[in-house]
Structure 1
């Protein structure tokens, strides 16, 4: 079973369409909505984790693209500037999923992308602006 995390951006014209339902019904893809920002009749953004057969996930992604949805790989949406980061430990203390931790041996910040839900707490709290979130 393959897993893929994506950020979907829905244009105004399809915000009210049952897109995720079609992924389950037509492509047998399991999904988990990790984060959503939806404004009816304006735009929607969803951080979605897809699980299923690799070919079916690709077919589902092609369906989403055909509906006019913009898709980004979620693992590319958070950037930590190691040159700016001072490993202060503030962001790990606020990270609700423990995607950011301080390594006990090196005392350096470690980011585990597979745990991140792109909540933005780390970006907002960083005193040196070393973390950038793009969703």
Structure 2
């Protein structure tokens, strides 16, 4: 079974369609929505983890609907040498991929939980969080 992370980009014309419903019902795909955002102009992005034997058929369906599908090939990594364990990033991480380990008070990073919101890059005062392509 194929499992991949993708970024979907919706236009105002496609944002109100039941796209995820069809991926699940028509293509028997397992969908994990990692991040979703829609702006006032009804344009949106969604980061999904998609699993299933009909993965390629589901992706083809999305593209036929006018949705831009991009593989999620980048990842956020923590530069251990730069990190001072100040904890600023952990307070802003929506998935707790960055967290403070107690009692040592060291900042830890679980890349599997990361949804690439990139808040940590903006918040980190010593630039210890980096994007790897």
TM-score (norm. length: structure 1): 0.71
Q: Residue 15 of structure 2 aligns with which residue?
A: 15
After TM superposition, the structure 1 = structure 2 runs for residues 36-75 of structure 1, keeping only pairs within 5 Å, are 36-39=36-39, 41-53=41-53, 56-75=54-73
Partners of 1:101 and 1:41 in 2: CA distance = 34
Aligned residues: 125
Find the aligned partners of 1:113 and 1:65 in 2 and give their Cα distance.
28
Gaps of 5+ in 1: 103-108
Counterpart in the other structure of 2:90: 93
Query: Is 1:100–1:111's contact at 8 Å kept on the other side of the alignment?
Result: yes
CA contact (8 A) 1:15 1:41 kept: no
Summarize the Cα distance change of 1:34–1:79 in structure 2 as closer, same or farther, 3 Å threshold. closer
Map 1:109-120 to 2 at 5 A: 112-120=110-118
Give the Cα–Cα distance (whole angstroms) in 1 for the partners of residues 31 and 77 of structure 2: 27
Normalised by the length of structure 2, the TM-score is: 0.72
Q: Identify unmatched segments of 5+ residues in structure 2.
A: 101-106
Cα-Cα RMSD: 3.1
Per the alignment, in what secondary structure is the counterpart of residue 123 of structure 1? helix
Question: CA contact under 8 A between 2:83 and 2:126: conserved in structure 1?
Answer: no
